[in-house]
Chain A
């Protein structure tokens, strides 16, 4: 995985929301990269900065209410996204990087037919004429396996079911064959059987088009089955990252343990107490100079309340920000391992 080509490099990304109550630092100094053709998953609770990060990549946040700090750097194929002007951004969005939004019910335009919405991007970015675009749109609908595509091309979003609308969203996002697809909770609003179909569809597309996918989700099951690498976010920071296998079998951060053990395993006995994290995430309005998880952590030490831990590199891919990794820290057995036994 190391020698793969990096298609997106994000360094020091900071996103702040300016509210009446003050500045909410939603994303704090986040660094990561995405390789061509891989799936990178963001996981965390609501409000941890998953969506803020993914929208920042496409510069979808509007100043002055939301500010991407000047210290941030996002390089797409070596080109700085922060320095792009309006015209270049327009060409980037939907063409090279595109996004599937969370809620298929509200993110489609209710006054346009599905076909028009797919054609829009094709005509703008690939300069197709109406007829060609319509043909291509039809192909896209076939690819995402919408039944009876000729008829549904002229349907309005309200005439389609949730699963079909999500497929239309995917068709729009993939119409111009982007090299990065950001999928923000693509299956949260869907039933399990439809979710399985959509995920199969995405992984096939990934194979065929070599698209890199950034998957934002809070469903660990989806990640285990679908992602190559995982980044766990908490309070606007990445607290642990690694390959899917590393995160699920050798997690090192207490927050990751908590996430993994709060989901009931199918193989386990019924009605056992689930691990429930106490408290709530920290208020992002306040300055945070120590470990953000300290207040809810079972293994919290004095230093955790004073200083933010540095990222420790365990293997080439597995990194964790936790004071427990410090050579002088006590060796602890995770409650996640204990419960697995």
Chain B
């Protein structure tokens, strides 16, 4: 396996709500993404997936922790060096309707990042825009259109073309398909997989659609209330989830494979995610966990490598792991 392209150590991002309350959106997360792989990040809304992705790109300043990109710590970069980093790391946003400027043509939107980072002549620029549009399956004519003339799927393609414009190595895809119809989702996912093969891209794929994440990712990390609870290869985590939260999450997926047996009756996770403002001490999941004991309520479990390349943060792995 290749070396790590992106590594975050003990990454924290807190938001100050008021004088006495801190929202711990990301709290001590360790992430390592290898070159050319896709790391899927799943969890319920509000668990800190998006904050995590944005902090990795320095769209948010991390409260504490280290972010290594290609071995270099980027959390202290300024000026030219920061620009160089942003040249190599890009993002595809969740909502294709609000993430494109309605007053700019598609060509301008795609070229905006390019203009900042590389100097091209007018003709080269035009050519480059046409290339990018072709790469995401749109025709050259789209360059002069506006976002409102495009369908959701087409807009998301533009969002991807914009991210590709500066030839990045690393792209954070923040729920790129959740606003789209099923058949269009498949188109966009196919496109992302193809681009990765052609260009050797590394993805952080954030989504709450578990079956899509399983499909596109090499490895998957599961987040709960700001911390990583389990991380393993996508095959392993879906077939042998070890953390009780991951198990509950997997059990909740409504499966399309119809076995004719009728409907599943599985023990459901009760209650909802507690507020990340001043979260409880100890394991974040303890309040909803059926295996929870005193130690869970007092001490936060560390993410340990239980099996090769399978990390779990739980005090009772031996019991609930089976």
| Chain A residues within 8 Å of B, Cβ to Cβ | 45-46, 147, 161-164, 191-197, 199-200, 203, 218-222, 224-226, 244-245, 248-249, 258-260, 262-268, 270-277, 280
Contacts and interface: CB of A to CB of B under 8 A. Distances in A.
Given A45-B182, A259-B183, 19 more contacts: A147-B271, A163-B272, A192-B254, A193-B248, A196-B269, A197-B268, A219-B254, A225-B255, A245-B260, A248-B256, A262-B185, A263-B182, A264-B212, A267-B257, A271-B193, A271-B216, A274-B186, A274-B215, A275-B186
B268 A276 contact: no
B253 interface: yes
Nearest to B275: A161
A270 B217 contact: yes
Residue from A225, A226, A268, A275 whose CB has the most chain B CB atoms within 10 Å: A225
B190 interface: yes
Contact of B263 (A147, A226, A259, A260): A226
Interface string B26-44: 0000000000000000001
Nearest to A271: B193
Contact of A249 (B193, B238, B258): B258
Contacts of A277: 183, 186-187
Interface string B259-285: 010011000111110000000000000
B31 to A, nearest CB: 20
Contacts of A218: 181-182
B210 interface: yes
How many B residues touch the partner, as a band? 35 or more
Contacts of B268: 193, 196-197, 200
A191 B272 CA distance: 10
Contacts of B185: 262
B90 interface: no
A272 B193 CA distance: 9
A280 B151 contact: yes
Contact of A273 (B44, B190, B214, B251): B190
B215 A220 contact: no
Given A249-B260, A262-B182, A263-B211, A193 B254 contact: no
B303 interface: no
A153 to B, nearest CB: 18
B23 interface: no
Nearest to B234: A270
Given A163-B272, A265-B211, A270-B218, A224 B190 contact: no
B258 A266 contact: no
Contacts of A268: 215
Contacts of B187: 276-277
Contacts of A260: 256
Contact of B252 (A161, A195, A262): A195
B238 A266 contact: yes
A194 B189 CA distance: 25
Nearest to A190: B45
B265 to A, nearest CB: 9
A45 B193 CA distance: 23
Contact of A266 (B255, B269, B271): B255
B145 interface: no
A270 B255 contact: no
B249 interface: yes
Contacts of B193: 271, 273
Residue from A264, A265, A275 whose CB has the most chain B CB atoms within 10 Å: A264
A105 to B, nearest CB: 12
Contacts of A267: 257
A274 B190 contact: yes
A192 B252 contact: yes
A220 B211 CA distance: 12
A193 B252 CA distance: 5
A276 B183 contact: yes
Given A218-B182, A249-B260, A260-B256, A191 B45 contact: yes
A265 B251 CA distance: 14
23 contacts: A162-B45, A192-B208, A192-B249, A193-B268, A218-B182, A219-B254, A221-B256, A222-B254, A224-B257, A226-B254, A245-B258, A248-B256, A258-B183, A262-B183, A264-B211, A265-B256, A266-B211, A266-B257, A270-B217, A270-B218, A270-B235, A273-B190, A274-B215
